[in-house]
Chains A and B, each alone.
Chain A
């Protein structure tokens, strides 16, 4: 398939064209860039949802059940599932697709015409997101999916990249996850628009829910309110219901308990997702955050292009300059200033 056929295919609902385009962008083929240029005007309609969380919390199951739920609500769903690759061999065993039906073999998501599932390996890039996930999401957006779910690697500390791609970020946890401080450090509590406590049938789910709500509220306003509570509000503090009463500006991330493999809590999760999207649209935040993401993305592309330029052309005699600096003939800052002067003229 050539670029024209692929672009036409994407815009007319041809799944194979979409699949081929994703391969191109994932592998940095020049055709990929061309295709992205041409489909970009058609992007911006999909609701992009990122799901992140530690390994074992049940992300795949949540994605699978959410897909079923959204399909039942008449929406089409594209999914990008990122699994870690091996840093040693570069190979990967991408196991999210096979978890897509969950435990019920009567579900037919694989052949549902309103569903597209793509597995990607994270290729060792820290942050958990495959290098080209954003581009794959764009392609799916242009294709016309209403919802795009991005499921990221449960690799631990660096889950935060999901916010670079998603309008709505969901952080999935489960009860008794061990060291609460670890979770705090991971920055996960700063990025979620919605929090999910999955496997909520295990003991400790309520405690985890309360703890998340407390952490989310750890700011001056909340502390003030908490110190002013009376004895009569003991119950509300104990159950965490107090936090629902604290008036917040903007969006208050809800904490939703689910037992994903039994389908429990999924409808509520889908409701929360839709609610968030409405909030983003009516408050103007959707455009604002998309702008910010685009700006960051463009800076990254810019930096990458400069890096490539440096490596490939050596017009600035970069290697020679590094030699000089290593011999103490020049200091790094002066060297860079020199290069910057030449770039801004020469690019």
Chain B
């Protein structure tokens, strides 16, 4: 193809076709900016992608740089895992919901914990009052975990755990259950989110300060590569960063930066990067701008492949794969006209599939009001199943590859993300780990995210961005959807259960294990084995976290408004 001919044709089109048309009939906006404020052109053509090389930048799936997907067969070989995030009340309530979801065709489990558990507090802690079981399942001891997994075979179902400060404890509990069920540890599959850096940027589940938090994560890496080699030891997340208001570019950049920081921490510890890399996974948001999200996912894979191969020198091609889970954007759900959310979720789910996600959670339409009801979560699951089985989308790999727009946008998003990475690297004087820590301390990430959130809100308030049903196409409505409620009775029962466990367990064994943990933490040793011991003795989440807090201190992040 002769690019000059293309350019000449475009000029002709501009003059003879476009210009006269614009004179008669203008466009809806002066300019069209996507959600990262990247200006989007009217039309893209071969000149937009002239600078790209098919071989080097796009290529084929399953091969460096993996732009088109991490596996050569992608969904033709195996569909993405349909993994709906769920949890509420006490362990038995969640166990029941899980069994329903598995029956309805969900292929992997994903655990939502309540705020006390997320913060490492027991259900009877005064700070937990009113919060037990409300936004997820309440887990205090191994006893709860046993109930949670009652009837669920760990060798056949993989489970993801959205847990951060107490991630080590939850991994230990899962390992303990596996031991009891007789499943070999090297067969255990699942994921712990275990990404504290994004907590400091956005999600705010904060307990220990940044450096000890990363130290414990590295302990988990060190223990995990030897003990549970098939388990994803971290889910490096951009989802929450996006939910806090960042742009797609920031979501991508900060997630990759965090990933680099974790890899550097592991290398510093002396962990073999090729051993660890296959156990790293990622977690992205899928938001409203359809093509930008697809571009983002593709750019992510390409960036990570380059970083792992060229920057960190991983030798095994498996180490260069960026595998990710996606959740459709919670912050895009509206409380008004909730059924519209089914449409939003569908578009976002399609983007994730077209972007090559390994697993997917689709939000339920009632989630701007409460946790999903059974009916609503069924529709969410069906959304994935319809895309999988009826739409034809999964039948070819990376169908948008080669699209002038999508390739241009993938490249653009990648370049903007690299700019951020270099800024962070500079803050760390060459080290991404130090750069991320510096950015946490000086408020860099929070400022970027908060400013993006405020700017977006301003555009909504000014009517520049339309939210259907909210600032346009509104109706007077009376809400008539069933809402899931979690009773305060759950809290009472959970506190009683905890009391009973504490009374019936071997408290000497608990004390010994906690003392061992304290000593390991104070002597900068790996804390996983002591935690596993404590968990098996039925020490509670709060007790274990309490030891860590007393050694490492608690953290309140500098607030930037």
| Interface residues, chain A, with chain B CB atoms under 8 Å away | 93, 95, 98-99, 101-106
* Complex: A346 Cα to B286 Cα, angstroms: 76
- Which of B554, B558, B561 is close to A105, meaning CB atoms less than 8 Å apart? B554
The 3 closest A-B pairs by CB, nearest first: A105-B556, A105-B554, A98-B559
11 further contact pairs, Cβ within 8 A, besides A95-B561, A103-B558 = A93-B561, A98-B559, A102-B556, A103-B209, A103-B555, A103-B556, A104-B555, A104-B556, A105-B554, A105-B555, A105-B556
Instruction: Judge whether A95 and B558 touch: CB under 8 Å.
Output: no
SS of B interface (majority): loop
- Whether B153 is near chain A, meaning CB under 8 Å from some CB there, is no
B557 cross-chain contacts in A, Cβ below 8 A: 103
Question: By the criterion CB–CB under 8 Å, are A104 and B553 in contact?
Answer: yes
Q: What are 14 A-B contacts defined by CB distance under 8 Å? A: A93-B561, A95-B561, A98-B559, A99-B558, A99-B559, A102-B556, A103-B209, A103-B556, A103-B558, A104-B553, A104-B554, A104-B555, A105-B554, A105-B555
Q: Which residues of B contact A106 (CB under 8 A)?
A: 554
For residues 521 through 561 of chain B, which have their beta carbon under 8 Å from a beta carbon of chain A? Answer: 553-559, 561
B556 contacts across to A, CB distance below 8 A:
101-105
Closest residue of A by beta carbon distance from B559:
A98
In the assembly, what is the distance between CA of A105 and CA of B556, in Å? 5
Report Cα–Cα, A93/B454, bound state, in Å: 14
Q: How far is the CA of A83 from the CA of B254 in the complex (A)?
A: 32
CB contacts (< 8 Å) of A104 on chain B: these are 553-556
The minimal Cβ–Cβ distance linking A95 to chain B, given in whole angstroms, is: 6
For B555, list chain A residues within 8 Å (CB): 103-105
* SS class, residues of chain A in contact with chain B: loop
Min CB distance A218 to B, Å, is: 35
Q: Whole-angstrom distance between the alpha carbons of A99 and B557 in the complex?
A: 10
Question: Smallest CB–CB gap between B40 and chain A, Å?
Answer: 33
A254 CA to B559 CA in the complex, in Å? 32
- Cα–Cα, bound, A102→B558 (Å): 8
Whether B553 lies near A95 (C-beta < 8 A) is no
A98 CB contacts on chain B under 8 angstroms: 559
List, in ascending order, chain A residues with CB within 8 A of B553's CB: 104
Chain B, Cβ-Cβ closest to A93: B561
A98→B558 CA distance, assembly (Å)? 9
Which residues from chain B contact A99 at a C-beta distance below 8 Å? Answer: 558-559
Residue of B at shortest CB range from A60?
B558
Q: Max chain A CB contacts within 10 Å: which of B553, B554, B556, B559? A: B556
Chain A residues, CB < 8 A from B561: 93, 95
List B residues 183-222 near A (Cβ within 8 Å). 209
Q: In residues 107-138 of chain B, which contact A (Cβ within 8 Å)?
A: none
Which chain A residues lie closer than 8 Å to B209 at the CB level?
A: 103
Tell me the bound Cα distance from A211 to B290 in angstroms.
58
Chain B, Cβ-Cβ closest to A102: B556
Could you tell me the distance between the alpha carbons of A106 and B559 in the complex, rounded to whole angstroms? Answer: 16
Residue among B557, B558, B559 with the most chain A CB within 10 A?
B558
**Residues in B whose Cβ lies below 8 Å from that of A95:** 559, 561
CB distance from B367 to the nearest CB of A (A): 29
Give bound CA distance, A105 to B204, whole Å: 13
Residues of A within 8 A of B559 (CB): 95, 98-99
Please give the distance in Å from B211's CB to the nearest CB on chain A.
Answer: 12
Cα–Cα, bound, A105→B209 (Å): 11
The CA of A99 and the CA of B561, in the complex, are separated in Å by 12
CA distance A98 to B209 in the complex (A): 18
Residue-wise, chain B 25-63 has the 8 Å CB interface mask toward A (1 for contact) of 000000000000000000000000000000000000000
Complex CA distance for A105 and B561, rounded to whole angstroms:
18
Task: Say how far A175's CB is from chain B's closest CB, in angstroms.
Answer: 16
| Assembled-state Cα–Cα distance A101/B557 (Å) | 10
Please, which residues of chain B bring their CB within 8 A of the CB of A105?
A: 554-556
Q: What distance in Å separates the Cβ of A297 from its nearest Cβ neighbour in chain B?
A: 34
Residues of B within 8 Å of A102, CB to CB, are 556
Query: Cβ of A93: which chain B residues have Cβ within 8 Å of it?
Result: 561
In the bound assembly, the distance between CA atoms of A95 and B561 in angstroms comes to 8
Complex: A104 Cα to B559 Cα, angstroms: 13
Give the shortest distance, in Å, between A69 (CB) and chain B (any CB): 19
Chain B residue, CB-CB nearest to A106:
B554
From residue A88, how far is it (CB to closest CB) to chain B in Å? 15
Shortest distance in angstroms between A260's beta carbon and chain B's nearest beta carbon? 13
A101 closest partner in B (C-beta): B556
Min Cβ gap A105→B in Å is 4
Which chain B residues numbered 295 to 325 have a C-beta less than 8 Å away from chain A?
none
Smallest CB separation, A97 vs chain B (Å)? 10
- Report how far A104 CA is from B554 CA in the complex, Å: 6
Residues of chain B within 8 A (CB-CB) of A101 are 556
Report the separation of the CA atoms of residues A105 and B127 in the bound assembly, to the nearest whole angstrom: 13
| CA distance in complex: A96, B230 (Å) | 48
B553 → chain A closest CB, angstroms: 7
Q: Give the docked Cα–Cα distance between A137 and B559 (Å).
A: 27
| Interface core residue of A98, A99, A101, A105 (most chain B CB under 10 Å) | A105
Q: A142 to B171: give the CA distance in the assembly, Å.
A: 57
Give Cα distance in the complex from A98 to B555, angstroms: 14
Given the complex, which residues of A lie within 8 Å of B554, measured CB to CB?
A: 104-106
CA distance A208 to B371 in the complex (A): 56
- In the complex, A2→B561 CA distance in Å? 36
Give the contacts of B230-271 with A (CB-CB under 8 A).
none
